[in-house]
Structure 1
Amino acid sequence: MMGAEDPKSVEDIEIRLLLEALFLTYHYDFRDYAMASVKRRLRQARQALGFATISAMQERVLHDPSLLPKLLGYLTVQVSEMFRDPTFFRAIREKVVPHLRTYPSLKVWIAGCSGGEELYSMVILFREEGLEERTLFYATDINAQALEVAEAGIYALDRMQLFTENHRMSGGKSSLSDYYQAAYGRASFDKSLRRNVVFSDHSLVTDAVFAEMHLISCRNVLIYFDRDLQDRALRLFEASMVRKGFLGLGAKESLRFSALAGSFEELSREDKLYQKRGG
């Protein structure tokens, strides 16, 4: 006689079937994301969207594409802030900018840009350091709604106090309020910050190299990938980078145990800032 059904194992099967369905139907590949994170996010989505089971949610998303953006919002959600981890941006100013000044033109990739906070932080930093005019910024994400938020550049005004303090601690050379206008409880960032920005859908899981970058910032994205997928993304970054290019990762991320560790030198261990080796 079979024992009682284990709800956890059924849920695991449901999740794997849903991830396979998303890949086969919509070409979004979350199959190698860290399972604990995926499970937590799908449980949140199921409850918030009003489904009794993961299977019921799968049935709906297969037949109703309008549900996809809502589901992606849970699978790709990232809480970010401008000049997050201010010492990282200070290290960019002090250790990376002097090298970048030697190039006549620059390309910077913000991979997994989410709502755009990291992008605007980098553009403002480059403007303050006199590098914006010669730089083309690529802001990519797999979530179309996140890209729309990033391109709009509008954030809740009550977030500006934190953003302003982060900017100051990062070595900011102006007031953050110089870059936005406040009205109706919202802060709208100046359109001029987007004049050298290309917003684009790009997946670190399935897409390829598309340019040769001097600096790649991909912070707090790899923690959601399993080890093989982390290495896949890091190989993509290494192949997308000029000789002696720079890579920035999130505070909880590292190259130390990666297959790509030998391809980079640590520029700042504390700030997770790396430089591609020459040769």
Structure 2
Amino acid sequence: MTPAIAMTIGGSDSSGGAGIQADLKTFTSMKVYGCSAISCVTAQNTKGVSRVDALSPEALSAQISAVLTDLPVAALKTGMLLNVGLIEATAAALAALTIPKLIDPVMVSRAGSVLLEPSAIAAYRLLLPQAELLTPNLHEAQLLSGVTIEAATDLEGAVEQAAQRLLELGSAAVLVKGGGRPELRGRDYLLQRHAPGQWLSHAPISTTHTHGSGCTLGAAITAQRALGLSLQEAVIEAKRYVEGGLRSALAIGAGHGPLCHWHAYGSVGQRRAP
């Protein structure tokens, strides 16, 4: 048996709901073999992040090299890259790869935890030209694009403008995740080069247990790309997967619980491209 292989590069979540752990759970539930390179170790639970320890850029580079020189990775994603050194190391390690690369510019979690040093925001532009798909939340889209996204303005128009600006900075496609605002809950904006933008929607799900939903969405897209789906098909399937995980979210811990990754898989089913 030779399964499709996907890789995640990012931070470890000690509570298992987000980061590397959520990515690997997602890969496994979609029958994709997952491998990883860890950039940071966080002390984290459903209430938030209390400590972050970054690995050295050399340690991250060595992990990436060890995987890519041995395993035929079909698609990969990046997540938490805390500082300039880790971003630069990742950009250098991935520059020669022609496989689908999803860049999730993890800066601030939906719960408000800061996951990127301020000096590293500009460094992310090294990775944007490598992205087949960039998946910022609303706050990250605003920081990277310089476009103000506020409820007092035309919210949809601001999101669309930010996505266009991010394409101009080098990304081949952008998916701006709208779940951070009640007005856009369940709605994400996909913009690809040479194609009209699309608002992709599912029914809003009333739950506070959304920990790791952004990581899970990116991992699901990556897994589906590894399986051979087109980018648009992968995004649609991934949104269905996250919807299923939110409907069966786990009310564990004293804060925001995580998605139920195994039940989410059952709600989506398995698809392979022809």
TM-score for the superposition, normalised by structure 1:
0.31
Instruction: Write 1 or 2 for the structure with the bigger share of helix.
Output: 1
